[in-house]
Structure 1
Amino acid sequence: MSDRERERTSGSGRLLMGVAWALLLLGLWLWGREVTDVRHGISAPTTGDVAAVGRPLGVELPPAVEPLGDARPQRVDIPALDVQARVVARGLDARGAIEPPPYERSGVVGWYGDGVRPGMAGTALLVGHVDTRTRPAVFYHLSEMRPGEMIRVLRDDGTVAEFTVEDVQVFARDRFDAQQAYGARQSGRAELRLITCGGTFDRASRSYTANVVVSAYLSGTGL
């Protein structure tokens, strides 16, 4: 077990946050619906407050396909991480942050139900815990994803939205740029963000120091 894994699974008496929910402010879903302008080319290598994770050069990605119609997500499958998780709609808490799934349901993924539905045009947001007090949770290995890998979202109309990962980034919480993290990369595309905690666990604030954000776009459909 690595030092990072020991840090995540230890920590007697700490109150895990699972995801730095306060970063997901109410205005984020407006960016997901392409209401504001977004800087392009943010998949370029970065340093400092925004760190790229495992972005090999020369990875050929498939073209985007046309967005799908209106349907709610039911399950998300991530073959590379051996994740198959039920998706539940979540709202906002009093702080304007997405309510996470309860810790006793740490294997469930939350979807911002008032935002974009996965497969439709815009940016849909899926959030999951990285760990609990005693064990890894559904997005524990999210930072290990690589460009070109597949994320499949089963929807309630029977269709499967197939997303290809573009990049994986770690955003420091104290200098977080929500538009850069969650804003649509290309107008008119169906995009997806998977979000969990990253960095290290800060005992003073009882939360993690960063967020891991996996960015993907719709590249195929299935039944």
Structure 2
Amino acid sequence: MAGPAAGTSRLLRAGMGAAAVGLLLIYNSVDVAPSSDPGPGQAAPPAATASASPGDAAPAAAAKPTAAAAPAAPALKRAKPTRLRIPQIAVDAPFTELTVNPTGELNAPPPDDKNLVGWYRDGASPGERGAAVVAGHVDTSKGPAVFLLLSLLVPGNKVEVQRADGTVAVFSVDSVETFAKNAFPDQRVYGKTTDSQLRLITCGGVYDKKRKDYLDNVVVFAHLESSRKA
């Protein structure tokens, strides 16, 4: 699969529903024209604009099959995530904390770091009860980035999050879906949950040269399957 062209930082834009965090957060793309067109067949990483109403989503592409529901593991206590590992797509990256700026937008991870993921620190931590939100670039000015192949995950794949308390939270992928940014299902992605879940989000779909942004978001839905000592 060809990687996205270098020369621009393309980030996720995702509306985080009020039911989840009490704010409308938008992960903006950097407004810089690409040096060349994204290559054909590149991974479809997410970018999304908040939907007008939570839950009113219109998938931009057919959803991948959903894995048979496995028993959820007991939620863990709150602890900062320190490293994300997804063997199936060769992800092994450290975390940075993401915050909200004065205009209500979610600050993105540094655009000059290809191997870095961001965790929304005012939400649930990975392994804690609730939907923990982790975002990453699909590409940066230096080329393909950490979540380039996120859309290739399938139900049953494992996502490991190493935590500052010395535990590793192991999540099982339930589904991988693509949503148009102008129809992002806030409530489904960011709404409250009764167990420990994880959302991995990046940009995807077609890159719009005029808007200098991807049109879609790729979202991985996963649940806590187990935990162990690091």
TM-score, normalised to structure 1, is 0.80
Q: Contact 1:131–1:138 at 8 Å: present in 2 too? A: yes
Superimposed CA distance per residue, residues 18-38 of structure 1 (whole angstroms, 9 cap, x where no aligned partner): 222xx234736338xxxxxx9
> % of aligned pairs identical?
36
Superimposed CA distance per residue, residues 157-197 of structure 1 (whole angstroms, 9 cap, x where no aligned partner): 1001110000001010122221123324xx42100000000
Aligned counterpart for 1:51 among listed residues 36, 58, 61: 61
- Asked if 1:193 is matched to 2:199, the reply is yes
Distance in 1, matches of 2:142 and 2:180, equals 25
Distance in 2, matches of 1:197 and 1:215, equals 15
Q: Contact 1:61–1:164 at 8 Å: present in 2 too? A: no
Residue 81 of structure 1 is matched in structure 2 by 89
Superimposed CA distance per residue, residues 33-65 of structure 1 (whole angstroms, 9 cap, x where no aligned partner): xxxxx97xxxxxx9x535344327xx4443111
Residue 9 of structure 2 is matched in structure 1 by 16
Secondary structure of the residue that 1:143 maps to in structure 2?
A: helix
Residue 172 of structure 2 is matched in structure 1 by 164
Count, aligned residues: 198
The alpha carbon displacement at 1:104 in A equals 1.3
Residue 210 of structure 1 is matched in structure 2 by 216
Aligned counterpart for 1:114 among listed residues 122, 128, 132: 122
The alpha carbon displacement at 1:82 in A equals 1.1
Q: Contact 2:112–2:142 at 8 Å: present in 1 too? A: no
Q: Amino acid of the residue matched to residue 199 of structure 1?
A: G
Q: Which runs of 5+ in 1 are unaligned?
A: 32-37, 40-45
Q: Contact 1:26–1:92 at 8 Å: present in 2 too? A: no
Superimposed CA distance per residue, residues 125-180 of structure 1 (whole angstroms, 9 cap, x where no aligned partner): 00000001341100000000000010010000100111000000101012222112
Map residues 54-73 of structure 1 onto 2, 5 A cutoff: 54-55=64-65, 59-73=67-81
4+ residue runs over 6 A deviation: none
- Asked if 1:125 is matched to 2:133, the reply is yes
Q: Contact 1:25–1:97 at 8 Å: present in 2 too? A: no
Residue 42 of structure 1 is matched in structure 2 by none
Q: Amino acid of the residue matched to residue 89 of structure 2?
A: L
Between stretches 174-183 and 133-142, larger displacement belongs to 174-183
Distance in 2, matches of 1:79 and 1:158, equals 20
Secondary structure of the residue that 1:163 maps to in structure 2?
A: strand
Structure with the largest fraction of helix: 1
Q: Amino acid of the residue matched to residue 222 of structure 1?
A: R
Q: Which runs of 5+ in 2 are unaligned?
A: 23-53
Q: 1:86 to 1:166 in 2, by over 3 A?
A: same
Residue 112 of structure 2 is matched in structure 1 by 104
Q: Contact 1:26–1:97 at 8 Å: present in 2 too? A: no
Secondary structure of the residue that 1:179 maps to in structure 2?
A: helix
Distance in 1, matches of 2:102 and 2:114, equals 22
Q: 1:133 to 1:105 in 2, by over 3 A?
A: closer
- Asked if 1:147 is matched to 2:155, the reply is yes
